[in-house]
Amino acid sequence: MRRMLMFLAISLFAASPSGIVEAQTTTTRARSTAQQDAETMARTGVLQHCGRAGGAVEGIGFGQSRESAIKNCCYWGQRKPKEIGTCKGHRGWFACVRYW
């Protein structure tokens, strides 16, 4: 294993004309929809922010009906909803609401 790592390091160093290896990085934004986040919460049974709202204000809620789950979301009635996702889990309904 040590020989393999040394070989790769030497090969990369030799392949670069200046002797400097430039690393390439790519950044992707993992964004999801409110529906996808509601489905994730229903699948896991855990009411939590999934962290993929892309900077939007987000409220999550749980209830025994779709409507009660939405009404239990943070900021409901205080902000204008942009996107609403709901999904039924084994204990009840999960909702994720993204606001303007």
Question: What's this model's pTM, rounded to 2 decimal places?
Answer: 0.69
What integer pLDDT is reported at residue 74 of this predicted model? 96
The pLDDT value recorded for residue 55 is: 80
Three-point CA angle 93, 96, 99, nearest 5°: 145
Read off the amino acid at residue 80: K
Say how far apart CA 88 and CA 23 lie, in whole Å.
45
pLDDT mean for each 10 residues of the chain (100 residues): 55 51 47 94 95 87 98 97 97 96
pLDDT at 28: 43
Summarize pLDDT for 51-61 with one digit per residue, the tens.
Answer: 788 888 999 99
